[in-house]
Structure 1
Amino acid sequence: MSDAPVGFEHFFTSSYGIHHSRRVNGDGSVSYAASQDVEAILDHNKKLATENDGWNKTRDMRRVASIPIMLLMKWQAEEGWDAFDPHNADRLAKKLNDPDYAHLRTAPGRIGYTNGVMR
């Protein structure tokens, strides 16, 4: 499959659209790679960002962002933090408020983090 990096063999695609590939190295060890086409996710985010304010009908929950799984994995591998860990909520809020990550947002406004709660 063409989604595999050079030298790797594609072996499955997950239900999230993540393409998993592997390579057997000369010493017998195995290397793995994963990739994901995120364009559809980002296009959907752009549509949602202008659709409404993100609040549900009862206004007790708000949609704010949609982050591709591969980006979450990249942050964990390269920056050493887990976006799902509540202890990292302040770091996640900072990322989502950064103009460099505006393409992840699905509703207008800033995300706040005070007293241990993301708002």
Structure 2
Amino acid sequence: MERLLDHDPHTGVKTWFSSSSEDGGTWNLRYEQDTSPILDQNKKAQARGFDKRSEMWHAARIPTVVMLEWKHRHGVEAWNPNHKAGVRRLLDDPEYRYLRVQHFMLGKH
């Protein structure tokens, strides 16, 4: 049986807890987030384009559940300065193009 353990109203992330007496008493955490508002904003920003003359460009909006996926699947912590190359690599990956706000490559992986 699964129960709601936590809800962050700022990010919308819900943390669900479940346990089982089978398999030696395992337990699981599952994270859930409605990512559609963030991804919709990204699509709109991609359609608008950007000023290439600017010194700084907004690259991406990354939902919290995607950051958790990156940590679990790729060992990349989005906010860790030592993982900057991994974040660039993932943002340049076509699998994660929906996170991008603009159409430019970050390069230098």
TM class by shorter chain equals: 0.7 to 0.9
Question: Post-superposition, which runs of at least 4 consecutive aligned residues in structure 1 deviate over 3 A?
Answer: 27-31
**Aligned equivalents of 1:61, 1:16: Cα separation in 2:** 25
Q: Which residue of 1, 6, 9 maps to 2:3? A: 9
* Cross-structure match for 1:117: none
State the distance in 1 between where 2:16 and 2:65 align. 14
The alpha carbon displacement at 1:29 in A equals 6.6
- Answering whether residue 63 of structure 2 is matched by residue 74 of structure 1, we say no
Residues of 2 paired with 1:83 and 1:23: CA distance?
27
Alpha carbons of 1:40 and 1:53: their partners in 2 closer, same or farther (altered >3 Å)? same
Of residues 41, 45, 48 in structure 2, which corresponds to 1:48?
A: 45
Q: If each structure's helix is expressed as a fraction of its own residues, which one has the higher value?
A: 2
Percent of matched pairs sharing the same residue: 24
What is the SS of the residue equivalent to 1:50? helix
Q: Which runs of 5+ in 1 are unaligned?
A: 1-6, 115-119
Structure 2 residue ranges without an equivalent (≥5): none
- Which secondary structure state, in structure 2, belongs to the residue aligned with residue 96 of structure 1? helix
How far the C-alpha of 1:54 sits from its partner, in A, is 6.2
Once residues 77 and 87 of structure 2 are traced to their aligned partners in structure 1, the CA distance between those partners, rounded to angstroms, is: 9
Q: Is the 8 A contact 2:76 2:87 kept in 1?
A: no
For residues 22-63 of structure 1, what are the alpha-carbon distances to aligned partners after superposition, in whole Å with 9 as ceiling and x for unaligned?
Answer: 2244377753221112122111100011223167xx933210
Cα distance in 2 between the residues matched to 1:17 and 1:9: 16
In structure 2, what is the Cα distance between the partners aligned to 1:54 and 1:68?
A: 25
How many positions carry a matched residue from both structures?
106
Q: Equivalent residue of 1:34, what SS? A: strand
